[in-house]
Amino acid sequence: MKRYSVFLALVLTFFVVTVAFAGTNYNAQFPAKVTLDGNLNEWGGAEFILVPHDKGTGPAPSDADASLKFAVLADDKWLYVAIDVTDDVIISGETDDWQDDSVEVYIDANHARTETYEDDDAQITIGAASIGGNIQKPKITGSTGAADIGVQAAVVKKTGGWIVESAIPLKCTKWDIKPAVGKVIGFNVHFNDDDDGTGRDHKLIWSDRDTDDASWNNPARFGDLTFIALLTAVQPSGKLATTWGSIK
């Protein structure tokens, strides 16, 4: 019976990883505490999803020019979104963040998948202008009051790019999201890449449903985010715990 349970756990783990790569669903583990500092070492048990240079409406020449990996965790207060951006030239300074290097996180809290924004939908844009800025009060732009919901973010440079480690409140003026196993919300991640300071050159998109860069005004283009329990299996006495989500 024990052997069967272990086998089933491995099968389910493989299924979780496979589904996450489909571009339609991400499995966010909870509860998991994250310290916002731009260091992603503590994210080892989370599943990072690659969005390559040619996935989106404005492909880049190579992954070195523009690509990203993202992961999501949650506790009882925050939805943590880590975005590890590969970007050969980091640009900021435009009037609109979406014309510069910036990432966008999309939330549809009630998962209604309407074709126009409701009060519980948001586009949260965090630009390279926030690199090295105030973690508690980063510059947030986007649609429908995103700047006022209390998003925090550590935005730092790295070799060959930059990192956004953000925390989105699960309870704010727009929504009250209570993580539970199997609960689903709408979710998407975008990356705007500006190479020369004259406006956006490339647009990368995670959700397979967003084939026309319409998430900014159409939540039906979002993918899904499903909350799952923290995937940690306890090993026999004297053994280290293994986080199944870290198995590739």
DSSP 8-state secondary structure symbol assigned to residue 248: -
pLDDT the model gives residue 200: 96
Residue 232: what pLDDT?
64
CATH of the domain at 212: 2.60.40.1190
Query: pLDDT-derived band of residue 94, with 50, 70 and 90 as boundaries?
Result: confident
Domain encompassing residue 55: 2-246
Closest CA relative to residue 67, chosen from 154, 208, 161, 150? 161
- Buried (b) or exposed (e) across 184-204, using 16+ Cβ within 10 A? ebbbbbbbbbbbeeeebbbbb
CA-CA-CA-CA torsion sign (114, 116, 119, 125):
positive
AA letter at 61: P
Tell me which of 8 and 124 has the higher pLDDT: 124
CA dihedral 99, 105, 109, 110 (to 10 degrees): 70
Region 105-128: mean pLDDT is 98
- So what's the pLDDT on residue 165? 98
Please give the tally of structural domains in the chain. Answer: 1
Contact between residue 125 and residue 146 where contact means Cβ atoms under 8 Å apart: yes
Q: What is the spatial distance between Cα 157 and Cα 87, in angstroms, rounded to a whole number?
A: 10
pTM (predicted TM-score): 0.86
Q: What is the mean pLDDT of the chain?
A: 87
What pLDDT score was predicted for residue 144?
83
Q: Greatest CA separation found in the chain? A: 63
Task: Report the percentage of the chain scoring pLDDT > 70.
Answer: 84
Interval 138-165: pLDDT, tens: 999 998 889 999 999 999 999 999 999 9
pLDDT, tens digit (0-9, with 9 covering 90-100), for 200-209: 999 999 999 9
Which one is predicted more confidently, 154 or 242? 154
31-40, 117-126, 139-148: least confident range: 139-148
Distance of CA 115 to the CA centre of its chain: 21
**Taking 80 as the threshold, does the pLDDT of residue 17 lie above it?**
no
Does 5 have pLDDT greater than 80? no
Q: Residue 203 corresponds to which tokens in the numbers above? A: 């647009």
pLDDT for the residue numbered 209: 97
Q: Please state the separation of Cα 224 from the chain's center in Å.
A: 11
